Amino acid sequence: MKSKRSELGFTLGELVAATGVIAVLVSFVYPVFVNGSQSASTIRCLSNLHQIGLAAQMYYAEYDGPPMTALPVSLQDYVGNADVFVCPNDPEGEDSYSAFFAGRYRRASEVQFVVGCPRHRAGKKQAVLLGKAKSQVAATGEVRHNGEQVALGEFVEGGVLEFADGSRVDIQDGVSIAVLTSMHSTSGFYSVVWIPDENSGSVDVTVHSGSRFEVLTPSVVAAVRGTKFRVTVASSSSGVGTCVQVYEGEVLVESRVKARKAVVKAGQSITMECSTHKCKERYPGPWGKHTKKPKNGDDD
């Protein structure tokens, strides 16, 4: 007795077997398709960051300083397409990068974080621009606020930030802070946090030995490796002042609006006060005291 065949000429058993084979093939092909799609979006994002880096260099050359407003506004005259400012993985699709931009007065070196995007591989990978238009992919380090995981770019207030490398930031109540990046780079673990200008208060930072860590305020960038220090921000109608006090190690403090920098050692502090019209600094000295500007200081 012959088996009954479908209208297509297949037996029921053959159809079941064929369906099973197709399901198995899909299970192999679908992840490849998804990964390929994710890779394409990451490549596009890296290209965007590269172009933003080139545009920022042109902005520096013309204005002798970093963009201090939203990137699509500051750099619109230096890019040919507004889509450069949008990551393919950004559901809002307007301005994907300004919230992660670390503007500095000096052009970034080859190993300084400039801007990044944490939207890749479900947040496990970042597209980042390090230095002068050098974009790359980096693994994201987990950050926790009071024990709960926090996303890069998300603002938190008060409490404790803990980083995957063991670094820690104790935040005074009422002070808000965001993590711009926390990643495994080729030169070691690298984190950057941002304290916006509406704050008045302090954060205490303990950096894991060998890790790189930067605190950005409206007036300064405080950059360290394996150091304990405090950053205090004071906002007023006339501008923003930042004081950096060092407990252990050394901190390189650079103005974000003028060509000024200083190395602050343990037991010393420095204060920089900035407004839209001027920036003045008190050079490193013992806590509670500030020396006058040195005649041969490193303030090029």
- The pLDDT tens digits of the residues spanning 219-273 come to 899 999 999 999 999 877 667 789 999 999 999 999 887 888 899 999 999 998 7
Within a domain: 254: yes
Judge whether 182 and 116 are in contact, CB under 8 Å: no
Domain boundary residue, one of 77, 102, 127: 102
Judge whether 128 and 135 are in contact, CB under 8 Å: yes
Number of domains in the chain: 2
pLDDT-wise least confident of 76-80, 135-139, 196-200: 196-200
**Mean pLDDT computed over 161-189:** 94
- Sign of torsion, CA 82 84 90 95? negative
The answer to whether the predicted template modeling score (pTM) of the entire model surpasses 0.75 is: yes
Task: Quote the pLDDT of residue 17.
Answer: 56
Q: Are residues 44 and 192 in the same domain?
A: no
- Sign of torsion, CA 293 296 298 300? positive
Q: Are residues 76 and 168 in the same domain?
A: no
| Mean pLDDT of the residues in the chain | 81
Confidence of residue 67 (pLDDT cuts 50, 70, 90): confident
Environment class of 205 (CB within 10 Å of its CB; exposed 0-12, middle 13-18, buried 19+): buried
Q: Are residues 160 and 292 in the same domain?
A: yes
Domain of residue 63 covers: 11-102
Within a domain: 127: no
Segment (H or E) for 244: strand 239-248
Task: Quote the pLDDT of residue 84.
Answer: 96
Within a domain: 121: no
pLDDT over 90 at 45, yes or no: yes
Q: Between 295 and 190, where is the model more confident? A: 190
Within a domain: 213: yes
Within a domain: 54: yes
